[in-house]
Structure 1
């Protein structure tokens, strides 16, 4: 657990002053105050087009999300001034990086009421989160997003692309063999426990993952009050030949869209710490009786599914952005991870909040460790902090950004950075937060 408790970090004074000048009150919400938290969660649910937060949901979130830092914006002039017009919540979580972990300021629950758009509220909140994280001593912030055009202006870069698959099981078939071990049904309560325990082990195996939390697994298992028709969720787990649980999968069966005699199987979450566990659970889904189509999301871009089926044209992969990162301290972030090859580069970085603006000399040694220091030398590469954050885990190529003119400089240096930054497996982030 990180020594930094996000709840102790005060609201950013710059954002507070900016919103106060507009007649708005930007402040922390006491998460221990059930009524205050309930009003904040009502605003969050409304912002994400959800239902009213009932007592069951409030109790659940009050107990299971107790480590969150809730920040909200209030307008004393509206009919219900005690309900926020904007919200954000945050906490500190370990982010898996090549060679270890790095504490990260995770941001979630960002909403602004439709009645208060175009008043600079989102800007003040997000800049406030970034400044608060930096002031607290974090070198990285991160989030997952519903809208991709918003966050680059605050220095966040799309860093962890993920896959969505649609599989015509009758065409795709199966060629992955039959792994050792067994797949067995489990109760939804057991499923939630298995998902969490497997994730805790597998998240350290690949860069990009973060720690989960109990409510996330209960949501996947259909046990949360926030999940509609939760009792339709089913769960299986994979037990290896030694009797250890190595994978778990939550799924739903839905009526087929093109053939009503056959169903569609939607994988809600698949957690696996071994190749056999992945293969066994996917085989279960693709060979399920009376199923014509399988859909699964948040799979790594190098998902073995393509090679587990007989006809890969029956399995359609769509790659899109998912995890976004924001470096807050260039030397600490770049020196925290290990690298795949030596490289040398001088990087001129611009930052919309001036937290990381400067020219930095990056020296990656043969031991895979980096040293970063400010320099007055002419830069090899010029880029924004969002672009540096994008390439940080090796999931986005520097050469691609160079070709798209998202950064400028020496092509050979960019190619060397790609080789150095790229881990054995591309980063993966299997959950939303």
Structure 2
């Protein structure tokens, strides 16, 4: 649990003043008030093109959002906001010992009504969140983006790419099962699936750079136990159990009947495993499943071993896309929070149009992988925007690639040294949306 509670942070006064000048009210929403809770939930559903939420959906959303800082933008006299955002402070795993983490200001539920576009509302929502996070002393903000062209202007950079996998199961040639003594796979009931999803994710994320904790409504949704889910009755779950009877992996999935033959596609809703044996067993369950034509999975690490598990790698289609976006707010705190794979000393100049992370620092990384970051006026070896630094932060994006793209200014030698220091042995991953 993070030490900082975002609910204690007031609405950003700069955004409040700007929106007030446009005749709009920007304020924290009281989720204990039934009318405000309903209005926020309806606006959130409208923004994400969901159907009108029923009373039970609103109740469940209210339970989740009561743990977060919720803000709405209101037109005069309106009960339903024209824009929404919510946030909370959560640990994000960073490179280092198991469980090493940094406080992350997680941003979600960013919506603007179609009737109020291009009025500066989104800008004030996002900039207000960043100023609020910085004022609270949170060093990094993050989000997952439904649209990829919005957030770079606020200093966010794509930092955790993920893979979307499609497997032609029959063509793949099957996956060899682990020894029965190592792990077994068994079906579980929906309520047990919720508990297994939570349990395995909470342990596995501690060793998965870039990941964050889930929350109860997330797991209920993955298990098909939320009202209004048209796919709920299709959801099934299995778990991988080790020789000691401990659940080490879990898979929630649906089987979607194909119209062209007596077969189905297996769509993975969530797959989590904390051991290689459990991961192999769950992939084998999915790919070897009788009467399955294709297996689909998203939010997989870019180094998922699946292509190396099947006999025919050409049966696996791997589409890499952006997923986890980060925005550094405090450069010294962020860089000192993680460890590195190689020594490094350089001066970096970071530009930030909002001024939150603007400055020059000398970064010294010792042989122990720990960093010391100090303000300096020396000439820089590396010049970059806060968005590029945020992309580099977890080691999921290559410094040499960013140099080739013109996103950072440095010699080839410096870019290579940064890459050696920042890289991770295992690719960062973010296995949930938030």
TM-score by length of 2: 0.97
How many residue pairs are counted as aligned between the two chains?
429
Deviation at 1:226, TM superposition (A): 5.0
Residues 9-408 of structure 1 mapped to structure 2, 5 A cutoff: 9-76=9-76, 81-99=78-96, 100-179=100-179, 180-225=182-227, 227-256=229-258, 259-408=260-409
**For the structure 1 residues 226 and 323, does the alpha-carbon distance in structure 2 shift closer, same or farther, using more than 3 Å as the test?**
farther
Cα distance in 2 for residues equivalent to 1:64 and 1:372: 37
| Secondary structure class of the residue paired with 1:297 | strand
Deviates more, 1:183-192 or 1:63-72: 63-72
- Quote the residue 1:424 is aligned against: 425
Cα distance in 1 for residues equivalent to 2:6 and 2:228: 25
**Could you give the per-residue CA deviations for residues 237-280 of structure 1, whole angstroms, max 9, x where no partner exists?**
111111111011000001226x4222100011001111011110
| Secondary structure class of the residue paired with 2:209 | coil
Deviation at 1:62, TM superposition (A): 1.9
Cα distance in 2 for residues equivalent to 1:427 and 1:220: 22
Cα distance in 2 for residues equivalent to 1:379 and 1:225: 55
Cα pair 2:237 2:253 within 8 Å, conserved: yes
Cα distance in 1 for residues equivalent to 2:46 and 2:246: 42
Cα pair 1:198 1:272 within 8 Å, conserved: yes
Cα pair 1:31 1:69 within 8 Å, conserved: no
| Secondary structure class of the residue paired with 1:217 | helix
Deviation at 1:174, TM superposition (A): 2.4
Cα pair 2:175 2:288 within 8 Å, conserved: no
Cα pair 1:31 1:68 within 8 Å, conserved: no
**Could you give the per-residue CA deviations for residues 286-340 of structure 1, whole angstroms, max 9, x where no partner exists?**
1111111111111100001010000000011110000000101000000000001
Where in structure 1 are there 5+ consecutive unaligned residues? Answer: none
| Secondary structure class of the residue paired with 2:367 | coil
What CA RMSD, in Å, does the superposition of the two structures yield over aligned residues?
1.0
Cα pair 2:210 2:428 within 8 Å, conserved: yes
4+ residue segments displaced more than 6 Å: none
Cα pair 1:239 1:246 within 8 Å, conserved: yes
Deviation at 1:175, TM superposition (A): 4.2
| Secondary structure class of the residue paired with 1:98 | coil
Cα pair 2:175 2:284 within 8 Å, conserved: no
**Could you give the per-residue CA deviations for residues 34-58 of structure 1, whole angstroms, max 9, x where no partner exists?**
3211111100100000111211011
| Secondary structure class of the residue paired with 1:192 | helix
| Secondary structure class of the residue paired with 2:233 | helix
Cα distance in 1 for residues equivalent to 2:206 and 2:348: 29
**Could you give the per-residue CA deviations for residues 113-134 of structure 1, whole angstroms, max 9, x where no partner exists?**
0000000000000000000000
Cα distance in 2 for residues equivalent to 1:118 and 1:82: 22
**For the structure 1 residues 226 and 208, does the alpha-carbon distance in structure 2 shift closer, same or farther, using more than 3 Å as the test?**
farther
Deviates more, 1:210-219 or 1:174-183: 174-183
| Secondary structure class of the residue paired with 1:10 | coil
Cα distance in 2 for residues equivalent to 1:25 and 1:62: 21
Cα pair 2:175 2:287 within 8 Å, conserved: no
**Could you give the per-residue CA deviations for residues 178-232 of structure 1, whole angstroms, max 9, x where no partner exists?**
3422111111111011000000000001110001101000100000125322111
Cα pair 1:176 1:307 within 8 Å, conserved: no
Deviation at 1:33, TM superposition (A): 1.7
Cα distance in 2 for residues equivalent to 1:226 and 1:411: 54
Cα distance in 2 for residues equivalent to 1:14 and 1:260: 59
Deviation at 1:4, TM superposition (A): 1.1
TM-score by length of 1: 0.97
| Secondary structure class of the residue paired with 1:203 | helix
Deviation at 1:93, TM superposition (A): 0.5
